[in-house]
Amino acid sequence: GQPVLAVVGRPNVGKSTLVNRLLGRRQAVVKDTPGVTRDRVSYDAVWNGRSFTIVDTGGWDPDAEGVYASVTSQAEMAMSAADAILLVVDANVGSSATDEAAAKVLRRSKRPVLVVANKVDDQRAEAEVAELWSLGLGQPYPVSALHGRGSGDLLDEVLRAF
C-alpha cells in the first residue's frame, strides 16, 4: 500500500489543522477545545503526484488518561504503524516534558521523524524554532498550519523521508 505519515503531539499544538493543511482541504476536526479529535483518523493525501496516507492521532480522553501517557502511547503506535512521523510542537510554547518524553520514545524509531515547529505565523516567531533542536530529532521545520507558511517545504521533506 501507500506510505503512511503519522502526526503526533500534545493536544492543541495544531495537529488537526496541520493535517488539513497537508491535505489541502478542511476535513480533520479542529476545535479550540483540547482533545476534540476523539479518534485516530486516516486520510488520503497527494503531493507532487505521490499518494500517501496521513494519520491524525489526536484521540485523547482527558478523563481516561493523562496527556503524558496519551502522547507517549501515540508515539509508540506511530512507530509501529507509520513509515514516517511528524512530532508537532507549538513553537510559541516550546518543548514541554511531554514533548521530551515523546521525543525520547521516537528517537528509538527506525522510521524517519520530523519535528514540526507549528504556529510560526510570522518571522518573529522563527526565533523560538532553534530551541527545538534540543529534542534530539534533528532540524525542526517551522510551519504555520493556520496560514500555510512552510507547509510545501515540509511536504517535500516528508516525500524525501518515505
User: Which of 12, 72, 74, 151 contacts ligand GDP by CB under 6 A?
Assistant: 12
Cβ count near 50 (within 10 Å): 13
112 Cβ contact list (under 8 Å, min separation 6): 84, 85, 161, 162
> Is 14 marked as a binding-site residue?
yes
Query: To the nearest whole angstrom, how small is the minimum distance from the Cβ of residue 49 to Mg ion?
Result: 28
Which strand (E) or helix (H) includes residue 117? strand 113-118
Kindly state the cell numbers that stand for 41: 483518523
Residue 74 lies near Mg ion (rule: CB under 5 A):
no
Q: Which one of ligand GDP, Mg ion, none interacts with residue 21, CB within 5 to 8 A by kind?
A: none
Cβ count near 4 (within 10 Å): 18
CA distance between the termini of the chain? 13
Kindly state the cell numbers that stand for 82: 507509520
Query: To the nearest whole angstrom, how small is the minimum distance from the Cβ of residue 135 to ligand GDP?
Result: 17
Residue 70 lies near ligand GDP (rule: CB under 6 A):
no
Residue 111 lies near ligand GDP (rule: CB under 6 A):
no
Give the interface segment with Mg ion, choosing from 12-20, 105-113, 120-128, 131-139 (CB under 5 A).
Answer: 12-20
Interface with Mg ion: number of residues (CB under 5 A): 4
Binding residues for GTP: 9-16, 56-60, 118-121
